[in-house]
Amino acid sequence: MTEGDSTPSTEPDETPPLLDLREPLPEVIETRQALADYAAAIAGGFGPVAIDAERASGYRYSQRAYLIQLRREGSGIGLIDPIPLGDLSELNAAIGSTEWILHAATQDLVCLAEVGLRPQQLFDTELAGRLLNLPRVGLASLVEHYFGQSLAKEHSAVDWSTRPLPVAWLEYAALDVEVLCELRDLLADDLDKSGKLEWAQQEFQSLLTFTGPPRREEPWRRTSGIHRARGRRALGIVRAVWDARDAIAQARDVTPGRILPDASILELAASPPRSMAELKEMRIMRNRGPRRFAESWLDAVSSALALPDKQLPSGASSREGPPPPRVWTERFPDAADRLGRCREVNAKIASDHDLPAENLLSPATIRALAWEPPNPVTEASVAEALQATGARAWQVDLASGALADALNGR
């Protein structure tokens, strides 16, 4: 932060007081009538709308929202259970073009869109903190930085699909939107003082079209420890068992690791059982969870063992785009040199403007540019290449000229 920011500070040995709700905890909204009443309250409020969602990551396969929290001045806090309600389009209509305030918007936009909630404009408090180059940008850290209070986070990883939700969890959820409106104003003021407000607005505008991360072509290759699978046959077993586990997890809406841990998939690949008797003797069958689907694991292993060699996966991923930079120095030295120069330029520009380097241009964008530069390399052609990757105008303006020089070896 720049000198003169009006932010409270605490002594190193002080424990900031906990943030408390300023109003009574509301009842959870789980009927159409209660939803209509709160939608009317939202429409009658003023200022932006703070929104957050709780998922059951680590417990459920889906990333659906199991609780949605809102707060608007004059409307109060609303805690909405979307499971019995489903579509929340009437609430979306009540919000209309009012600005949303979210923290780490990409985590919630997809699950909110699933129930009919889509912003027309938004402000992301985490992203604002990143553009200000604050050392920590979690919501609890920002609350402590700007308000000198702490935000309890002990319920962040609980199973939000639990019903009924405990009161302590609901209080935790309500606190996540308690000060977002005030936090937004303080962040916007600091962005304005630092000359970064227009940059932030471009970033927020780009989030309006966010529909989730791109789908991986071979998601089974993300199995933890897959480097221990030796040979194409072992990789084929990993793929088959991963697919079987994924189908079971999706059908039961349980996170895959609770059906069969990744370590167990690797154990099956290392010592593939040829019969149910062999499978039942394996260490992975000691737990009740994997035993319930023993036939599925054996069928998957058997199908992989029966595949002809030409249908087995190769050791290399069929990833799109450039290869991993670790191999560039030896195999693609010219590209490695370009990458080093571009990284150095990106870091220099980011430092000059008090930005994290990854928020100026992402590592993937820098790699793509260094791997396949435009021909010819000019400031205009580099600007066009950056725009094609989704870079915003402020990023292009800051970086295109210096990157063109770097690509040309100057």
Beta bridge partners of 69: 52, 79
pLDDT at 78 over 50: yes
Amino acid at 60: R
**13 assigned to some structural domain:** no
Residue 322 — pLDDT band, cuts 50, 70, 90? confident
Same domain for 226 and 190:
no
Cα separation, 26 vs 171, in Å, equals: 9
Q: Do 198 and 84 lie in a common domain?
A: yes
- Number of compact structural domains in the chain: 3
- pLDDT tens by residue, 126-157: 999 999 999 999 999 999 999 999 998 888 88
Last residue of a domain, one of 151, 184, 207: 207
Residue 7 has pLDDT above 70, yes or no: no
- Say which range, 94-108, 148-162, 247-261, 392-406, has the weakest mean pLDDT: 148-162
Mean pLDDT check: name the lowest of 53-67, 110-124, 189-203, 320-334. 320-334
Average pLDDT over residues 298-306: 97
d(CA 231, CA 83): 45
pLDDT over 90 percentage in the chain: 88
For residue 399, count other CB atoms closer than 10 A to its CB. 25
Reply yes or no on whether the pLDDT at 382 is more than 80. yes
Domain around 227: 219-311
Same domain, yes or no, for 334 and 355? yes
Task: Indicate the average pLDDT of the chain.
Answer: 93
Confidence of residue 315 (pLDDT cuts 50, 70, 90): confident
Q: Which of 357, 7, 395, 392 is nearest to 190 (CA)?
A: 7
- Residue 21, in any domain of the structure: no
Task: Say if residue 69 is in the same domain as residue 121.
Answer: yes
Distance CA 377, CA 215 (A): 32
Distance CA 392, CA 307 (A): 47
Picking from 158, 177, 207, the residue at the C-terminal end of a domain is 207
Q: Both 170 and 268 in a single domain?
A: no
Give percent above pLDDT 70 in the chain. Answer: 96
Res 320: pLDDT: 62
| Cβ contacts of 147 within 8 Å, gap of 6 or more | 8, 19, 179, 182, 183
**60 within some domain:** yes
Give pTM, 2 decimals: 0.90
Q: Are residues 108 and 191 in the same domain?
A: yes
| Alpha carbon distance 142, 187 (integer Å) | 9
Same domain, 40 and 147: yes
Closest CA to 193 of 398, 3, 393, 394: 3
In terms of domains, do 188 and 336 share one? no
Q: Considering the domain boundaries, does residue 11 fall inside one?
A: no
Domain presence at residue 7:
no
* 155/251 same-domain check: no
What the block records as the tokens of 18 is 């906990």
CA distance 156 to 169: 9
Tens digits of residue pLDDT in 349-378? 999 999 999 999 999 999 999 999 999 999
Domain edge (last residue) among 207, 236, 269: 207
Stretch 185-201: mean pLDDT, rounded? 98
Letter for the amino acid at 49?
V
Helix axes 139-147, 180-193, angle to 10 degrees: 70
Place of tokens 């241009």: 361
300 and 158 share a domain? no
User: CATH number for the domain including 255?
Assistant: 1.10.150.80
Residue 214 lies in a domain: no
- Alpha-carbon distance 202 to 188, whole Å? 13
Q: What is the CATH number of the domain that holds 138?
A: 3.30.420.10
Please indicate, yes or no, if residue 1 is contained in any of the structural domains.
no
Q: Kindly state whether residues 140 and 273 are assigned to the same domain.
A: no
Same domain, 226 and 350: no
Task: Write the pLDDT tens digit of every residue in 230-269.
Answer: 999 999 999 999 999 999 999 999 999 999 999 999 999 9
